Amino acid sequence: MKKRILVIEDEHEISLIIKMRLEANGYEVVEAFDGLQGLKSVKTHKPDLILLDLVLPKMSGTQILEELKGDEKHKDIPIIVITGLSPEIYHAKTTRFKADAFFLKPFDSVELLATIADFLKDSPKKP
């Protein structure tokens, strides 16, 4: 059974690149292009892992992170933040609820895949 990854990213080009790379490595991908859609997708699609941008329309990634990490049903879903914000700004915005991993844009897709595989206890397939 494929592991399901939810990509919450408002930049369609970045989301497409991530989706293609993940699918090529055997993952099922669900996309959301704003914060509210992303939060709804968590509840309807029950992802195994979430890739989350912090700067999103309708609801920020930090709000999503706070809500999910504070919710008993969803707190154990690994959340990997992929953002253009600096680590200092990210840490200032998320003092109580932190992501499980953090990648700055532009990110190394090989390193991202390895991190995802580690969280999901998979071995990434060779590209």
**Amino acid 124: pLDDT:** 46
Whether 57 maps to a domain, the answer reads yes
Conformation bin of residue 121: beta by default, left when phi > 0, alpha when psi is -120 to 50: left
CATH number of the domain at 101, please.
3.40.50.2300
* Domains contained in the chain, number: 1
Rounded Cα distance between 10 and 41, Å, is 14
**Amino acid 77: pLDDT:** 95
Average per-residue pLDDT for the chain: 88
Whether 125 maps to a domain, the answer reads no
C-alpha torsion angle, residues 19, 24, 27, 31 (rounded to 10): 10
Whether 80 maps to a domain, the answer reads yes
- List the structure tokens of 76: 């154990």
**Amino acid 95: pLDDT:** 54
Average of per-residue pLDDT across 6-21:
96
Q: How confident is the model at residue 34 (pLDDT cuts 50, 70, 90)?
A: very high
Each residue's pLDDT tens digit, 80-109: 999 887 666 666 655 556 788 888 888 899
Whether 114 maps to a domain, the answer reads yes
Q: Which range marks the domain in which residue 40 is found?
A: 4-120
- Give, for 51, the enclosing helix (H) or strand (E): strand 49-52
C-alpha torsion angle, residues 62, 64, 69, 70 (rounded to 10): 100
Rounded Cα distance between 93 and 33, Å, is 21
Whether 126 maps to a domain, the answer reads no
Each residue's pLDDT tens digit, 40-57: 999 999 999 999 998 899
pTM given for the model: 0.88
User: What phi, psi does 102 have (nearest 5°)?
Assistant: -140, 125
Non-local CB neighbours of 78 within 8 Å, separated by 6+ positions: 48, 49, 50, 100, 101, 119, 120
